[in-house]
Structure 1
Amino acid sequence: MNFKELFDFLHQLQQNNSKEWMDANRKWYTSLRKDFIAWLDDLDYTMAKLDEEYYPTPGKKGINRINNNLMFHPNKPVYKDHFGAGLDKAPNSADFYIEVGVKQCLLAGGFWRPEPKTLRSIREGIDYNGEELQAILDKPKFKRFFGELYEDERLKKPPKGFTKDHPHIELLKNKTFAVVHELDKEDVLKPNFKEKMKEVYLEMLPFRRYLNQAVFL
């Protein structure tokens, strides 16, 4: 995958974010998308060898649409400023997300504002064994890679069914359970980018598996 060319395309797209420009450069976009899918397929194979519970996810299934959803977000640009994809994408599970873009590049995973049933299951998992999740979050290497949980909307009061003196009340107030490892553009362009992704994937794995276990209990 020629990420230098991908960055060039995305930069030009954001300078000319319109259907007219995209139509005129459709062949360029299609070629890059094809290469990105092939790169995802190779990454999918690599990750499957790292994790025996990995859920095979072909690049065509994992890649996100480049069009923004203007029906629900009419003020957004027509096109996104990044290529994104989710791997290890089992139904109703915390996938491993990749984003390569003009403004940011990142590796992430978890649940972003899950639907109420899933969120309830995660909170019940924390109620049952929050010590395990806290231990994962407190691990020094995990903190170096991800810092804290992704900062998003939180409840001001305890969620229904939980008291304010619950030992894990601060975790329970979260609406999003995800972590992010930010990358520089230079990280993506380095020859060892895949090795970096493998390291991040493995460090994130206990966190994602904890969430999936809570959801599927």
Structure 2
Amino acid sequence: MSFQKLFGFLERLNRNNSKEWMDEHRGEYYEIRDFYISWLNELDIKLAKIDPDYSPTTGKQAINRINNNLLFHPDKPVYKDHFGAGLDKEKGKGDFYIHIGINERFVAGGFYKPPKEKLDSIRAAIDYNGEDFRKILNKASFKIVFGEMMEVDPLKTSPKGYPADHPYIDLLRKRTFAVMHSFSREEVTADDFQQKIITIYKEMLPFRKYLNHAITV
């Protein structure tokens, strides 16, 4: 089994997106799913060895359902065009998410549109010590891997309680604190893909640690 076969299965599923087709090919789906779970288990063990604060997360715990939630999104197809998984899972922690799909392939981490309580805590941390966060974001290797933080519906004005001339007002206006690194299909199917994920995890670690600390203090 391989990621090449995973892509092939997702392409055929995308062309035949129905429960009837999935029922006919459910055995193949489980083979692909089991391959991905096994791959995630290997990665989980390796990440736990390099990060003392890592929360072990088995492949079965990490992998997301392939079914779309049609109750809330009735216009979506029955099945997704990707396999998603979240490692280093612990309540309150920022995400470390792996997305392997036919249209998008990426790793992302941090807090995507966090609820008000967490957003307030992150802003308070930046207000208190934004310089450390700025250094993380401006580190040359971090910029090479991730570029800028995701730009998702930032405030046009200052958040309540913060002056417009605050030295970190550009950060305080953010409502998502997350970064992403995309892959080509060739990178995913290469032998060193797992090692690339590990390298990205290490580069993202100070970013996630800052945010995780912000919401727990």
- Verify same fold: TM over 0.5: yes
Which region of structure 1 is more displaced relative to structure 2, 200-209 or 162-171?
Answer: 162-171
Q: Which residue of 2 aligns with 1:67?
A: 67
Q: Percent identity?
A: 53
Residue 100 of structure 2 is aligned to residue 100 of structure 1: yes
User: How far has the Cα of 1:72 moved from its partner?
Assistant: 1.9
Q: In 2, Cα distance between the equivalents of 1:82 and 1:201?
A: 21
Residue 25 of structure 2 is aligned to residue 29 of structure 1: no
Q: In 2, Cα distance between the equivalents of 1:140 and 1:198?
A: 18
Aligned ranges 1:117-156 → 2 under 5 Å: 117-156=117-156
Q: Which residue of 2 aligns with 1:51?
A: 51
Q: Which residue of 2 aligns with 1:214?
A: 214
Q: In 1, Cα distance between the equivalents of 2:163 and 2:20?
A: 55
Q: Which residue of 2 aligns with 1:82?
A: 82
Unmatched segments (≥5 aa) in structure 1: none
Give the residue type in structure 1 aligned to 2:23. D
User: What secondary structure does 1:133 align onto?
Assistant: helix
User: What secondary structure does 2:30 align onto?
Assistant: helix
User: How far has the Cα of 1:48 moved from its partner?
Assistant: 0.4
User: What secondary structure does 1:157 align onto?
Assistant: coil
User: What secondary structure does 1:108 align onto?
Assistant: strand
User: How far has the Cα of 1:69 moved from its partner?
Assistant: 1.6
Q: In 2, Cα distance between the equivalents of 1:78 and 1:119?
A: 33
Q: In 1, Cα distance between the equivalents of 2:72 and 2:123?
A: 28
User: How far has the Cα of 1:120 moved from its partner?
Assistant: 0.8
Q: In 2, Cα distance between the equivalents of 1:97 and 1:90?
A: 13
User: How far has the Cα of 1:163 moved from its partner?
Assistant: 1.4
Q: Which residue of 2 aligns with 1:39?
A: 39
User: How far has the Cα of 1:21 moved from its partner?
Assistant: 1.2
Unmatched segments (≥5 aa) in structure 2: none
User: How far has the Cα of 1:173 moved from its partner?
Assistant: 0.9
TM-score relative to the length of structure 1: 0.97
User: How far has the Cα of 1:199 moved from its partner?
Assistant: 0.7
How many pairs were matched up? Answer: 217
Q: In 2, Cα distance between the equivalents of 1:42 and 1:211?
A: 26
TM-score relative to the length of structure 2: 0.97
Residue 120 of structure 2 is aligned to residue 111 of structure 1: no
Q: Which residue of 1 aligns with 2:185?
A: 185
Q: In 1, Cα distance between the equivalents of 2:68 and 2:163?
A: 40
Q: In 2, Cα distance between the equivalents of 1:77 and 1:156?
A: 35
